[in-house]
Structure 1
């Protein structure tokens, strides 16, 4: 049984890290890449991990990038993706770098202006392979990613060749066990085994969020904790505060409100309807640190969360 579990785990990990570019190793050719508007060829006797590489060249040195594109790949805007490419800028050429470009496309496979760039490192024209990568999230509403490989040129006006080689192109889900934080995660959440306390989550613009925890203090009194913080697209972190001192209206006076730091919250989601909530109190003698799995209780009208295209 242990061996079966290991095999299942192993193959699950392999599938979750599947390369969405079917010909990124260039072992035999550069099929799948559109070279209509570029001078790109397959090189048999060079490569990063093994022989076989993609070479692109141009004598139009205008400061731009000459590229060849791959077939559009269907993506899920709820996922973070990683693009990794091996790049070699050929020495004794006019090239100033190599590049990989992601153009995000809508459901009609049309570009609406969203683009990500991945360039070779600062060492150029050294004729050495360099491995570079970037993690990106599709903009909301984008359904496809189109990857292009290119050579970066200097605005010299020279008609000498600029040449770059690229290899081992991988485009994959970056964090298979994590889920992007989306506006649709706004709503109420709770632990299925602990009904009676829970969270309210508000996903705000500009990478910000608020998390309210409706719970109880060490004496059994109701306690509301509020954390305002930021997220990096997959994980929220914020300092939590608790208020005290004021009375119920009409006796309420805002000057009576005392705000105290309580600790820190962390929240990430594993799907549209489940996440993991962690807390770290300042006073660990009264409140032990911990974590719990939370499930969706409510959602906002009109909000859609997409778990397709795993």
Structure 2
């Protein structure tokens, strides 16, 4: 579509034309705007209009009063390696945000250590509901054996505790983890710290448009 209208109305339910379809609708300031269905759907055919509208808001970053992901929220562009900086060197997170059965979810793998210094993995799972924050449940697995003795029937998934991931921008985040009473009794305590990209040249589009 070619147009001389330079503004996009990011309301996914908005109509670009007057009720009789004879003219472009003007706002209270006499300004016309292209709606999301005309501006975005031609290229992003499977995109939901609400999602496309959120992606279009502050697209060029001219409003510095809001964070980078204020309107978009958690998105697949956040997938990658994250860590707590040099003070937490030796542990970190593998984060993936992806569509699962039509819903956006965050899966995080936390490589860290138990109170005795043994290396462990915690797995976090939570819904990515369009905000910059998600509450997750952390799990820890045991029962498996190395190599040819591995049997998926031996996997024992135990709930470790709860946590929260927050990503206000594509290169900064925050995590908090609260072990449950069982693991608190084993010497684990609450932790919380800021996150940054472990690999800064990550070559992924963030924010990304989430399409099926």
Task: Sort the TM-score into its range (normalised by shorter chain).
Answer: 0.5 to 0.7
**Aligned partners of 2:40 and 2:52 also within 8 Å:** no
- One of 138, 147, 162 as aligned partner of 1:240: 138
**Aligned partners of 1:201 and 1:212 also within 8 Å:** yes
- One of 26, 42, 46 as aligned partner of 1:68: 26
* Structural mapping, 1:153-168, within 5 Å: none
Residue 10 of structure 2: aligned partner: none
Output the aligned Cα RMSD: 3.8
* Structural mapping, 1:153-302, within 5 Å: 176-177=66-67, 179=69, 180-192=73-85, 193-205=87-99, 206-233=103-130, 234-283=132-181, 284-285=184-185, 286-298=187-199
Q: TM-score, normalization: structure 2?
A: 0.65
Residue 47 of structure 1: aligned partner: none
**Aligned partners of 1:187 and 1:300 also within 8 Å:** no
Deviations 1:218-238 (A, max 9, x none): 111111000122022221222
- SS of the residue corresponding to residue 68 of structure 1 reads coil
- SS of the residue corresponding to residue 149 of structure 2 reads coil
Which structure has the bigger radius of gyration?
1
Which deviates further from its counterpart, 278-287 or 242-251? 278-287
Q: TM-score, normalization: structure 1?
A: 0.46
Counterpart CA distance in 2 for 1:144 and 1:244 is 46
Residue 305 of structure 1: aligned partner: 206
Residue 36 of structure 2: aligned partner: 104
* Structural mapping, 1:14-163, within 5 Å: 68-69=26-27, 70-72=31-33, 103-104=35-36, 109=39, 112=42, 115=49, 138=53, 140=55, 142=56
Counterpart CA distance in 1 for 2:58 and 2:160 is 43
Gaps of 5+ in 2: 1-16, 208-212
- SS of the residue corresponding to residue 153 of structure 2 reads helix
Higher helix share: 2
**Aligned partners of 1:209 and 1:228 also within 8 Å:** yes
Deviations 1:101-121 (A, max 9, x none): xx3278xx56658655xxxxx
Counterpart CA distance in 2 for 1:252 and 1:190 is 30
Residue 9 of structure 2: aligned partner: none
Counterpart CA distance in 2 for 1:267 and 1:195 is 19
- SS of the residue corresponding to residue 250 of structure 1 reads helix
Deviations 1:223-254 (A, max 9, x none): 10001220222212221110112211122222
Runs of 4 or more consecutive aligned structure 1 residues displaced over 6 Å after TM superposition: none
Counterpart CA distance in 2 for 1:225 and 1:266 is 14
Gaps of 5+ in 1: 1-36, 39-57, 61-65, 74-102, 117-135, 146-171
Counterpart CA distance in 1 for 2:125 and 2:40 is 37
Counterpart CA distance in 2 for 1:217 and 1:227 is 16
